[in-house]
Structure 1
Amino acid sequence: MTTYVITVPGTFVNGVADTARSDIERRLRPRDPQNTELGESEELSLLTVEDGGMFSARIEVEAADQAGAESEAVRLVSQALRDSGFTEQDAPLGPAFVTGIDSEF
């Protein structure tokens, strides 16, 4: 298995309150990339929200391949958003992409 740091971009269409943002971060915390060597060295944030509502969630995922890691990351971020009260229309996601790879041989 390989550990990937995956970035999932999206947009909060109607903005996001600080309490909702904290709730999303709490739900994603077990997947915080700061727990990886790459996350520490690059100082990656778990959730970054820009003016205008655009956001990036960066999470750590273990998978056999890149496609599996990206798919799992989207699933996890989608679940955290839903559990925090956001529908797909409230916070649509863009395509996930690999931010870093930590292979153990």
Structure 2
Amino acid sequence: MTTFVITVPGTFVHGISEDTCSAVERSLRPQDPKNTDLGESEDLSLLTVDEDGMFAARVEVEAADQSGAESEAVRLVSTALRDSGFSEEDAPLGAAIVTGIDSEF
């Protein structure tokens, strides 16, 4: 298995309060990329939100390949958003992007 740091972009269509943002972060905390060498060295934030509502969630996942890692990251972020009260229409996601790979041989 390989550890991937994946960035999942999206947009909060109707904005987001600080409390709700904290709830999304708490839900994603177990996948915080700061647990990886890349996340620590690059000081990656778990969730960043711009003033216009665009956001980037960065999560750490283990998977056999890039495709599996991207799918798992989207699933994790979607679940965190849904658990925080956002529908797919309220916070649509963009394509997941590999931010870093930490494979051990």
The TM-score range, normalised by the shorter chain, is: over 0.9
Q: Distance in 1 between matches of 2:39 and 2:97?
A: 15
Partner of 1:93: 93
Matched, 1:28 2:48: no
Partner of 1:47: 47
**Cα RMSD (Å):** 0.3
AA matched with 2:34? Q
- Structure 1 residues without counterparts, runs of 5 or longer: none
Could you tell me the TM-score, scaled by structure 1's length? 1.00
Structure 1: which 4+ aligned runs deviate by more than 2 Å? none
Partner of 1:6: 6
AA matched with 1:13? V
Could you tell me the TM-score, scaled by structure 2's length? 1.00
Indicate the percent of aligned positions where both proteins have the same amino acid.
75
- Structure 2 residues without counterparts, runs of 5 or longer: none
Q: Distance in 2 between matches of 1:72 and 1:60?
A: 10
Tell me the matched-pair count: 105
CA deviations over 1:41-87 (Å, ceiling 9, x no partner)? 00000000001000000000000000000000000000000000000
Q: Distance in 2 between matches of 1:79 and 1:39?
A: 22
